[in-house]
């Protein structure tokens, strides 16, 4: 018989943090994500790096790359200081970047998760 050694004291507890502003670091980024309609999206994963929830990893965030709906993408690029040029950005350049985000609680198909509502450069979130 195999045993899975994992802390079971967290079973059944929510993995959602309260709505607030958090200092986060981008730990993953890929452009291979697509919406249900097949539209291009950026998928990023962030973790909280300060405060009570430091170390908490937020579920993947899907950010539209469509020209008329990419406001959050633009905010993230500017807030995190991701280098860009006229032709775009390299997803590897997102990794390790830090920013402040407004996290909200979103419900989808009866399940709660955190979503990035806004992104700010560190020190510019007032």
pLDDT in tens, 60-97: 999 999 999 999 999 999 999 999 999 999 999 999 99
Whether residue 22 contacts residue 54, with contact meaning beta carbons closer than 8 Å, is answered with no
Instruction: Write out the CATH class of domain 20-120.
Output: mainly beta
Question: Model pTM?
Answer: 0.84
The DSSP letter of residue 36 is: T
The strand pairing partners of 116, in sequence order, are: 103
pLDDT above 60: residue 100 = yes
């Amino acid at each position: 018989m195999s045993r899975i050694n994992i802390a079971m004291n967290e079973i059944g507890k929510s993995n959602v943090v309260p709505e607030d502003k958090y200092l986060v670091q981008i730990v993953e980024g890929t452009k291979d994500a697509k919406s249900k309609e097949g539209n291009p999206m950026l998928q990023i994963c962030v973790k909280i790096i300060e405060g009570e929830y430091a170390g908490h990893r937020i579920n993947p965030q899907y950010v539209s790359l469509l020209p008329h709906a990419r406001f959050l993408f633009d905010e993230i690029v500017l807030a995190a200081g991701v280098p860009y040029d006229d032709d775009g950005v390299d997803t590897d350049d997102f990794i390790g970047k830090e920013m402040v985000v407004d996290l909200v609680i979103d419900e989808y198909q009866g399940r709660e998760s955190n979503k990035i509502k806004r992104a700010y450069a560190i020190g510019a979130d007032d």
